[in-house]
Structure 1
Amino acid sequence: MSAPGLLVAAVRSGAGKTTVTLGLMRALARRGLHVCGVKCGPDYIDPAFHAAATGRDSLNLDSWTMEPELLAQLALRASEDADIVVAEGAMGLFDGAPGAPGQTGASADIAAHLGWPTLLVMDVSGQAQSAAAIARGVALHDARVKLAGVLLNRVGSERHRRLAQEAIEAVGIKVFGALPRDGGIALPERHLGLVQAGETRELASLLDRLADRIDAHVDLDALLAAAAGGPRGVARGPLDVPRPPGGRIAVARDEAFSFFYPHLCRAWREAGAKIAFFSPLADQAPPEDCDACWLPGGYPELHAGRLAAAGSFLEGLRRFAATRPVHGECGGYMTLGRTLTDAEGRVHAMAGLLDLATSFAQRKLNLGYRRARLSSDCALGAAGDELAGHEFHYATIVSEKGPPFAAVTDAYSQEERPAGLREGLVTGSFFHAMTKKKGRR
């Protein structure tokens, strides 16, 4: 039996989804329940907070990059040995990108695919009875999505709560609770989202405070009773993702390189690959007994000086790349280049394995879904294989010379453009791979 689930969503970003989700996860875990977290859409940071709150790995589910079969397989794994799955939505519930019905990347697609009822977090600051119109609109907007009810957030007073709650309940929508305003529970942020879980001071204490608020102001028993859905009639099968780049893979992991999707790690291990983590910031080279190296994205721009001074890491990486495949995504790609300019304009020498110079002093947001067609055989697949994923970075390219890693399109155009670089056994780009497209090797 798969565990039932709930999707925590809102009509916009900034309504309090993340703090509500973390508080709910922690409160349920403190009751002794086995809780598994899920993040809708491409996101590296929130799943690490989910893991801290629940004690279990979280997973990403995304309807734009993932076929329904892969969504079902990942949801099956999320629900194994769990009592409940708590999914956190992205942006507004119905926000997504152009795509076929059910494949737009909207959190509503995930709720529809898996039958998870939605808990709508409503920031009611600046409104009262009008919240009922919004809740009713959400309930009626998409017949595929079941609205379990509403959780009021940022309530100013008992009178404020009563006005909003009575209006919402008058249109037949359940209110599970109301959280008062509290400016002291905000999570710190930086340019790619929240400060990472491992860097957040006194995270355990903060999670317990969030759980205390949920315990005090939310009907948890009613929420548990509302949970439903999950993968039904799904037999365990392989995860259709980019193939493991090797049998034993060296993966950089520290504060500079942490954007490694849990579902990729899990899929590669299920395929028989071994994962060996190492820390460039600790001046560790890729382990010599590995046959491929993966440099994930992260925040190398915040640690460029330390990376430039990490002689054992850089020399070891160059030695590794002479005989074995190395791939870098986003921050990892920047590290494979010749130079990285930090926010203060200081230029730092990087590995020099690709003819690339990047800058964080010159910033421009690049964000969105991507499809990538591999330009040549490499560690991720054969020439012509297609991957689906995304870009999210502020760093800019100062110079980029050499044959491309792939040809990419986005959600709004079929026009291909070159992306990334390849040189010998070394490849990289700002593209983050999530899945391979169906029908390809």
Structure 2
Amino acid sequence: MAAALVISAPASGIGKTTLTLALARAWRHRGLNVQCFKSGPDYIDPAFHAAATGRASVNVDSWAMDSATISHLISRGADADVVLAEGSMGLFDGVAARGVSGTGATADIAEMLGWPVVLVIDPSGQAQTAAAIATGLRDYRAGVRLAGVVLNRIASPRHEDLVRRAINDAGIAVFGALPRHAEISLPKRHLGLVQAEEQAEIGKLIEEAARFVSEHVDLDAVLQSAASWSPQPVVNGLNVTPPGQRIALARDAAFSFVYPHMLEAWRAAGAEISTFSPLADEAPDASADVCWLPGGYPELHAGKIAANTRFGSGLRAFAETRPVHGECGGYMVLGAALTDADGIRHEMTGLLGLETSFAKRRMHLGYRLAALAAPMPGHKVGARLRGHEFHYSTILAQPDTPLAVVHDATGAVIAETGSRRRHATGTFFHLIAEDR
């Protein structure tokens, strides 16, 4: 049996990730095996979880996944002593229309699994009002149980006393209060936190967070508030079809946004994955039968990608006879050109006619449901694919045949249809699952 908890907050940017990493590392120092998960479509946080625990973390998503898939994914915590699911955005934040098993809100996962919630609350600029917020979150949805709160960015002992008294008077446990501490702030960029693999000092940062949280949070009380959990037998596993038997996967700082459960599902189905680095001017494995370019940060490396002729010529040669698929950043690189934030136009691989620009950034964010009008690797015409889109690029041209009819979570048709040309396909959304 594992002690299971959900770490959430009233909003984004409150400190969920820092607290999750700190708790995981602190309990690991006590000799406990800790397994983390991420609620929602986040490609970055699971890598931080893995750095803190030494165990791979995966996403669970109530909008895109059914309960059987979620149960299968969390079963990897069967041998853990502690299981932590880190939420996204605010506790009840999701989309307006229900998806497969929920709206994508962290509360869906907490209720589905029966795991109590530890709230991170930042009472900056307030005092007793923090108790009203905690009480409102506790009482908003009957099936979601609040374990207690951790206060973050406390200004002074007097501030802590005011907030703590008010929350305790509301019948809610306060597990600890964290003073402001800039040394454990995680660096950010336009798509969220700077990736764990890009931070040489990530180990030291997590260690400092664990030390700091251990000094100010009652770790024993947090553990005692957890649910006792063990996985139930699951009949159906992951609903993901591999795009081929031998998959050449682009993997480096420019191509890193791939959901861990996707790779797990491909391997579980018997597929073999070989990685290559476009930034190191490597071409896809010539023995592979499909090439997959995930998203990432090609806009930060556009000049180098354009100059790496071995990668470009190798990819074009591969695409002469075999399918190549790109997601978001990978889709942009399959296109004709990418204009970076400085307004400089870089020639891309030209397998598709797509042209994109970051000169005038505009955020595109949300769940996507795509009905394929043409096949793409691993999926037939008519397949209904669920995914998530998050980027700041603007489409300058998308001249090729649309790959799919794409709707957002409200059912509205969107312009980012994806493209296909000969053996090349691409989408702006990152695939999470196919409807059963």
TM-score class normalised by the smaller sequence: over 0.9
CA distance in 2, matches of 1:111, 1:231: 15
1:118-137 correspondence to structure 2 within 5 Å? 118-137=117-136
**What does 1:18-417 correspond to in 2, within 5 Å?**
18-77=17-76, 79-100=77-98, 103-228=102-227, 230=229, 232-235=231-234, 237-241=236-240, 243-415=241-413
User: Are the counterparts in 1 of residues 40 and 105 from structure 2 also a CA contact under 8 Å?
Assistant: yes
Secondary structure in 1 matching 2:118: strand
Structure 1 residues 250-301: Cα deviation after superposition (integer angstroms, max 9, x where no partner): 1111000000100000111111111111111011100112111110000001
Q: How far did 1:397 drift?
A: 1.0
2 CA distance for matches of 1:312 and 1:380? 27
Q: Which 4+ residue blocks in structure 1 deviate beyond 2 angstroms?
A: 99-102, 229-238, 413-418
Q: Which amino acid aligns with 1:18?
A: T
Q: Which range moved further: 380-389 or 129-138?
A: 129-138
On the 8 A contact 1:297/1:332 being kept in 2, the answer is yes
> Aligned-pair distance for 1:93?
0.3
CA contact (8 A) 2:387 2:429 kept: yes
Q: Give the structure 1 partner of residue 429 of structure 2.
A: 431
Structure 2 unaligned spans of 5+: none
Contact 1:72 1:231 (8 Å CA) reproduced: no
Give the structure-1-normalised TM-score.
0.96
What SS does the aligned partner of 2:248 have?
A: strand
Provide the C-alpha distance between the structure 1 equivalents of 2:350 and 2:135, rounded to a whole number of angstroms. Answer: 57
The answer for the alignment partner of 1:422 in structure 2 is 420
Q: Which amino acid aligns with 1:282?
A: A
**How many percent of aligned residue pairs carry the same amino acid?**
56
Q: Secondary structure at the match of 2:17?
A: helix
**2: CA distance, partners of 1:76 / 1:231:** 8
Q: CA RMSD in A?
A: 1.5
Separation of aligned partners in 1, 2:145 and 2:135: 12
* Distance apart, 1:319 and its partner CA: 0.9
Tell me the amino acid that sits aligned with residue 362 of structure 2.
K
SS at match of 2:398: strand
Q: What's the offset of the Cα at 1:234?
A: 2.5
Q: Which residue identity does 2:140 align to in structure 1?
A: H
Distance 1:217 1:236, change over 3 A: farther
Render the CA deviation track for 1:67-110: whole Å, top value 9, x for unaligned.
11111111112x13211111111111001102339511110001
> Which residue identity is paired with 2:225?
A
SS at match of 2:390: strand
Change (3 A) 1:403 1:22: same
Task: Give the superposition deviation at 1:46.
Answer: 0.9
* 2:402 counterpart SS class: coil
Unaligned runs of at least 5 residues, structure 1:
none
Corresponding letter in the other structure for 1:105: G
TM-score normalised according to structure 2 size: 0.97
Q: CA deviation at 1:416?
A: 6.5
Q: Counterparts of 1:311 and 1:19 in 2: how far apart (Å)?
A: 40
| Matched-pair contact (CA < 8 Å) for 1:94–1:108 | yes
How many residue pairs get matched?
Answer: 435
Query: 2:68 touches 2:235 (CA, 8 Å); kept in 1?
Result: no
* Comparing 327-336 and 374-383, the one that deviates more: 374-383
User: Distance in 2 between the 1:416 and 1:350 partners?
Assistant: 25
Offset, 1:372: 0.6
1:130 shift after superposition: 2.2
Pairwise CA distance, 1:159: 2.0
Determine if contact 1:65/1:389 at 8 Å carries over to the other structure: yes
> Relative to 1, partners in 2 of residues 1:231 and 1:360: Cα closer, same or farther, differing over 3 Å?
farther
**Partner of 2:346: helix, strand, or coil?**
strand
311-320 vs 122-131, which moves further: 122-131
Query: In the aligned structure 2, how far is the partner of 1:399 from the partner of 1:416?
Result: 15
- Separation of aligned partners in 1, 2:97 and 2:54: 35
Deviation at 1:237, TM superposition (A): 3.9
3-state SS of paired residue (1:22): helix
| Counterpart Cα distance in 2 of 1:58 and 1:213 | 23
8 A Cα contact 1:278 1:287, kept in partner: yes
Q: 1:146 to 1:95 in 2, by over 3 A?
A: same
Whole-angstrom CA distance in 1 between matches of 2:375 and 2:88: 34
Single out whichever of 196-205 and 277-286 deviates more from structure 2: 196-205
Q: 1:264 to 1:234 in 2, by over 3 A?
A: same
